[in-house]
Amino acid sequence: MKRRSLHVSAIGDYGIETVELPNGRVVDLAVLRHPGASAVVPLHDDGTVTLLRQHRHAAGGTIWEIPAGKLDPGEGPEVCAARELAEEAGLAGTLTHLTTIHTTPAFTDEVIHLYVATGLRSVPTHLDDDEVLDPVRLPLADALALIRRGELTDAKSIVALLLVEQRRA
């Protein structure tokens, strides 16, 4: 494989990779190499969850999400999940790994490690300069209704919330 990097940013390294496919054909593919991320469903003892109403420029405005963020260099997925839970939702708790997903494998190697956090307690928040968000606590059933109505469209959040619902059933 040959790679020509086009742009490196905090998100990752975007470039063109010349690869041989399993059928023998050689093609150029645009690929974003990403460090990975973690996301976490904050599940309170009373069955409520904390979601974020977060402004996402690329998505065209404010969307519903669970706390999430990119892994820092050398940072493990669980450490990242705990950090993002505290920074964005002002919460800390016991983390349990749910699964790991590929976000968009057609053009990136990004994986997101999904967790649920229980035994929650309040801690100080610390938002990044580019984060505009509002934590909202609501019943898990209401979060699932947001999915069914098409109001919560963020894939990592949908997968994680459905897995939490399945574990509780």
- CATH number of the domain that 84 lies in? 3.90.79.10
Q: Cα–Cα distance between 8 and 15 in angstroms, integer?
A: 9
* Model confidence band, residue 56 (pLDDT cutoffs 50, 70, 90): very high
Residue 1 pLDDT greater than 90, yes or no: no
Residues 142 and 78 in one domain: yes
Residues 93 and 54 in one domain: yes
Q: What is residue 66's predicted lDDT score, i.e. its pLDDT?
A: 98
Strands (E) across 34-155 are located at 37-42, 48-56, 61-65, 68-70, 91-102, 111-122, 133-139
Residues 52 and 124 in one domain: yes
In tens, the pLDDT along 125-153 reads 888 788 789 999 999 999 999 999 999 99
> Whose structure tokens read 């469903």?
41
The domain total for the chain is 2
Q: What is residue 131's predicted lDDT score, i.e. its pLDDT?
A: 79
* Model confidence band, residue 92 (pLDDT cutoffs 50, 70, 90): very high
Residues 61 and 97 in one domain: yes
Share of the chain above pLDDT 90, in %: 91
* Model confidence band, residue 109 (pLDDT cutoffs 50, 70, 90): very high
Residues 75 and 152 in one domain: yes
Q: Can you give the residue range of the structural domain that contains 92?
A: 35-168
Residues 125 and 139 in one domain: yes
List C-alpha distances in Å: 66 to 18, 37, 70, 90: 36, 12, 13, 13
Please provide the average confidence, as pLDDT, over all residues in the chain: 96
Residues 113 and 58 in one domain: yes
Buried b (16+ CB within 10 A) or exposed e, 139-169: ebeebbebbeeeebebebbbbbbebbbeeee
Q: Higher confidence at residue 83 or residue 169?
A: 83
